Amino acid sequence: MFDRLEDILVRFEEILSALGEPGVANDQERFRKLMKEQSDLAPIVEAYKEYKQCKQNIEDSLAMLEEESDEELRELAKEELNGSKARMEELEKQLKILLLPKDPNDDKNVIVEIRAGAGGDEAALFAAEIYRMYLHYAESRRWKVELVECEEIGIGGMKNVTFMINGQGAYSVMKYESGVHRVQRVPETESGGRIHTSTITVAVMPEAEEVDIQIDEKDIRIDVMRASGNGGQCVNTTDSAVRLTHYPTGIVIYSQTEKSQLQNKEKAFALLRAKLYDMECQKQHDAEAEARRSQIGTGDRSEKIRTYNFPQGRVTDHRIGLTLYKLDKVMNGDLQEIIDACIAADQAAKLAKMGEE
């Protein structure tokens, strides 16, 4: 581990030197790559430098204890020694986590797709509530949300809704939301007071750039039409809605949330790229069975990950055995405690696997 850290330290100094060269900003692509690498390595370098400083403090404190006879100075040296040892242990754990292989998609924006599952109208109502939960969470992170497509039902529910989240590290956080979400509660339409169980599925896909996924024009059919459903001025009066059909996979994308046909087309292509990229990632994911077992959850879309029990006011994440009795806050976007616990459990599992190797 420490040989690797020394190599990172050398590389970091090389990057700083390169960034200091005159005219480096003239080559925007190189400049961007250097800045990105510097940003990625900076937390590791900072922690490692502090680790080395703690190590030096320990050596200095031990030397003082051997040489010093003054009791007051010896006490100060002991305090410094104990503090540095404790901090050094913390930093060693932190460095192990920082050196874990990084998901290449972690820094990407995401496209989230929520679909009502078992439970009819109640599932559609819950899908709309989970959508609002993510909106509130994104707002708390100061992320930007753009609606891509939505199929509503008359009572305020959503059969499906797809939206983009633009924000630093959005995928690294939101990827833990993929899977089946289950709700247990008494529906408003239930006169007998019986608790019903309904489900929705959430798919979180990293946004794919054109360099990630190449789409052959021959594989696509583009249809334009008038937007349907509720809309503002002009939405239903021009051929602004766009439908993409991808022949090789059978994927159909419909986008009508913007007034401009061009904007709807851009959103539709972004969603198609994300779906195709996600399919490739899933193939690779399925092929790496051993790696999958070291992660939180299987990554399978059919895996039940969380239950929202309204009568008891609790939320349970089944992957990590976490139960919180603050359902109201969670539904209002207070997801950070759950996500942090998922990240910690994921890191622990990967560290344990690394230890076995």
Taking only the tens place, the pLDDT of each residue in 4-33 is 888 888 888 888 888 888 887 788 888 888
Is the alpha carbon torsion for 311, 313, 315, 321 positive or negative? negative
Q: Phi then psi for 76, rounded to 5 degrees?
A: -65, -40
Amino acid letter, 355: G
Q: Which fold has domain 2-98?
A: Methane Monooxygenase Hydroxylase; Chain G, domain 1 (1.20.58)
| Domain residue ranges of the chain, discontinuous segments joined by + | 2-98, 110-207+288-351, 217-283
Q: Give 300's contacts (C-beta < 8 A, 6+ positions apart).
A: 179
Cite the DSSP H helix spans in the chain.
2-19, 28-67, 71-98, 121-140, 170-174, 261-287, 289-293, 327-331, 336-356
Which residue has 């991808």 as its token pair? Answer: 246
The whole-angstrom separation of Cα 288 and Cα 57 is: 44
302, 333, 323, 316: which is closest to 115 by C-alpha? 302
Neighbour-count burial of 217, counting CB atoms closer than 10 A to its CB (0-12 exposed, 13-18 middle, 19+ buried): exposed
Give kind and range of the element (H or E) at residue 305: strand 304-309
pLDDT of residue 231: 44
pLDDT of residue 284: 65
What digits encode the pLDDT tens for the residues 53-98?
A: 998 889 888 888 887 777 888 888 888 888 889 999 889 888 888 8
pLDDT in tens, 208-231: 776 567 777 788 888 887 776 544
Longest dimension (CA), the chain: 90
Give the model confidence (pLDDT) of 165-206 as tens digits. 998 889 999 999 998 999 999 887 666 778 888 999 998 888
Q: Mean pLDDT lowest for which of 102-111, 220-229, 304-313?
A: 220-229
pLDDT above 50 for 298:
no
Check: CB of residue 204 under 8 Å from CB of residue 112.
Answer: yes
In degrees and rounded to multiples of 5, residue 309 shows phi and psi of -105, 105
pLDDT of 261 reads 82
CATH class of 110-207+288-351: alpha beta
Find, among 197, 207, 119, 123, the residue nearest to 162 by Cα: 207
Fold of 217-283: Double Stranded RNA Binding Domain (3.30.160)
pLDDT band at 291 (very low <50, low <70, confident <90, very high): very low
Measured torsion, CA atoms of residues 165, 167, 171, 174, in degrees rounded to the nearest 10: -60
User: Does residue 299 carry a pLDDT above 60?
Assistant: no
Sign, CA torsion 87/343/102/144: negative
Mean pLDDT of the chain: 83
Judge whether 74 and 63 are in contact, CB under 8 Å.
no
The pLDDT of residue 7 is: 86
